A and B are shown apart, each in its own frame.
Chain A
């Protein structure tokens, strides 16, 4: 059957099993919007800004494992989407972004709403395509989904000139696709896995350090099994929270700049470090020269370029995390040999001493609302089962430290790029994917204003997300650094002239509640998830103005050089 390019786009998405796409119309994509309008399988979610379309698709992808899909117009539509594309790229999130382009005869002529989308997005995509013939359209979309979702996932942009969406051709969606230059490794090398296994058994102070790769690979169950078989301590990166249950005694908390004392000390003192689906990011390693001085390192990662990039490792294993951990588990189970018991219990004693420092304690008797307390209460009310998105800054760290994620894909944050404005649209994406579930966006009065317009999207699609605004009237993390390192010169970190968030929420048709006393925190959260279960609720918590995120590794320090309080 002959279809127009626009119809091919829609049919191809349906063939890929796409149910929702997030976007914003404009001249170059009008044919595609017209085709979407004339069918019912594919639901389009209209955001209020293209950045939000990408973040919403990103939240959708992170919470489901399915690729997020975005449709935006040419020019500013595409440039607005770039922040969200880069966000997904840094965190290896599968996403397919369709951008409209001016008709081919106009390309290069500085036409209205023309921008070189392929050129602009190139450094922040896994791959991108410009469609030059309607006959290639279906194949390119197939390739885009294939590349986005296999190997180390990432965003793929398909730039579609408007004239192509009007051209007709015979449509048949390719069943399989082969790209001769693209062969992601999935199976780990058995010799390397054996070597890793042997090295693990030599450990007296083993440490398991896992990242977002475990979540992307859906390897949580296998990781839990592996960790329990070994009896070793485990830490998760910011991106990896939830892969191992936070309430388990082998879990020593998050590591890195605002990780726990016990996690960072265990890293620093370990003799065998087992890194799984983590990439030795600078926020995790601190000063590289001081990083894990005594450890021999095993590194499992699907991306060969991640291996020995920042830290030279002893046993690299390139492969899908799930596959490799399954193989490791088999080796362990097939033998009676385990880690030496006496050494392991000495190691645990040491770790318990570090843990006894109780590095996440905070002063509860100040009469002001502590952000940590709000996050704890949120955990309690939602029984640790909510999907929690965040923006970027102090509130993000408080959420990571105090929520206690027990399941994967529940903690949705921009770890790599650190994109303020991510939280609310991401929460919308999560809620669209999980209509009946509890979704909270932990944010601050700085971040929330970067995509506040999406409150309007919440109303249109009845997404009952709960906004937990930790409002201290400061760009908190900036202020914290200025307090520590710039003699309290608070340059532009004070958010002057804040809006009345309650009135703002109400103006958008939602429930707004301001909470100013610690004793009102619990009730407000209960109301949000109870009485106002089906509504978008904006909880504006007026919190301690100068609370800091502790513990902290200052820039240039090693993991063993934390500031505790």
Chain B
């Protein structure tokens, strides 16, 4: 079971997202995260799907996605060098010593405190999924009120381009 980041260009049409989401549920494929937004070309959306499965399953996932008429192009970013990032917003308790402790951790993880109250900090961190996971682990004794993560988005390294 390997993790794969599949990046898609798909027609920016109503229903395209549900075709992709429906495919994953109908065929019982894993889906860890899915993010989608329009691109610089208003007719296209870019979707990043994080999934996992045996090589055979992942091959099927790619083939089935390619079969969807709305999918224009597809690349498995994990097949070569790539950059993947995820955005996290977390609201944590910040009372007493925790106020300094959270601030220190946020600095270490290159994040920002973006909202402050007497009792909470809201922090923003953009990094790989693994880094975000370790930030959460690092908070250990600090109470987490809320975590929002965007799911990964990715792009291939170097001069490889996913475009039509």
Q: Could you list which residues of chain A lie within 8 angstroms of chain B, going by C-beta atoms?
A: 118-119, 122-123, 126-128, 130, 147, 179-182, 303-305, 308-309, 312
Contacts and interface: CB of A to CB of B under 8 A. Distances in A.
A316 B69 CA distance: 23
B18 A181 contact: no
B69 A179 contact: yes
Given A130-B14, A181-B71, A305-B60, A123 B66 contact: no
Most A Cβ at <10 Å: residue of B59, B66, B69:
B69
A548 B14 CA distance: 50
A133 to B, nearest CB: 13
B70 interface: yes
Contact of A304 (B19, B63, B70, B71): B63
Interface of B: 10-11, 14-15, 18-19, 22, 26, 56, 59-60, 63-64, 66-67, 69-72, 164
Nearest to A304: B63
A127 B69 contact: yes
A189 to B, nearest CB: 16
Most B Cβ at <10 Å: residue of A127, A179, A305, A308:
A305
Contacts of A128: 15
Contacts of A309: 60
B69 A118 contact: no
B53 to A, nearest CB: 13
A354 B14 CA distance: 56
A123 B22 contact: yes
B61 to A, nearest CB: 10
Nearest to A156: B69
Nearest to A126: B69
15 contacts: A122-B15, A122-B18, A128-B15, A130-B14, A181-B11, A181-B69, A181-B70, A181-B72, A182-B69, A304-B67, A305-B60, A305-B64, A308-B56, A309-B60, A312-B56
Contacts, number: 38
Contact of B69 (A123, A147, A303, A304): A147
7 closest A-B pairs by CB: A305-B63, A181-B72, A127-B69, A123-B26, A182-B69, A304-B63, A305-B64
B73 to A, nearest CB: 8
Given A119-B18, A181-B71, A305-B66, 18 more contacts: A118-B15, A119-B15, A122-B15, A122-B19, A122-B22, A123-B22, A126-B69, A127-B69, A130-B14, A147-B69, A180-B72, A180-B164, A181-B10, A181-B70, A305-B63, A308-B56, A309-B60, A312-B56
A460 to B, nearest CB: 37
Contacts of A303: 67
Nearest to A123: B26
A182 B10 CA distance: 11
B67 to A, nearest CB: 6
A179 B67 CA distance: 13
A304 B18 CA distance: 22
B151 to A, nearest CB: 22
Contacts of A122: 15, 18-19, 22
A478 B11 CA distance: 45
Nearest to B59: A308
Nearest to A303: B67
A123 B22 CA distance: 7
B66 to A, nearest CB: 7
A118 B15 CA distance: 8
A433 B67 CA distance: 31
B13 to A, nearest CB: 9
Contacts of B10: 181
A305 B64 CA distance: 6
B21 to A, nearest CB: 10
Nearest to A132: B14
A386 to B, nearest CB: 36
B3 to A, nearest CB: 21
A128 B72 CA distance: 16
A305 B164 CA distance: 22
Nearest to B64: A305
A281 to B, nearest CB: 16
Most A Cβ at <10 Å: residue of B56, B67, B70:
B67
Contacts of A182: 69
Contacts of A130: 14-15
Nearest to B63: A305
Contacts of B64: 305
Contacts of B19: 122
A308 B10 CA distance: 25
Nearest to B14: A130
A180 to B, nearest CB: 6
Nearest to A182: B69
A126 B164 CA distance: 23
A393 B10 CA distance: 42
A147 B68 CA distance: 11
Contacts of B71: 181
Nearest to B67: A305
A304 B59 CA distance: 10
B26 A304 contact: no
Most A Cβ at <10 Å: residue of B56, B63, B64, B71:
B63
Contacts of B15: 118-119, 122, 128, 130
Nearest to A124: B26
Nearest to B43: A180
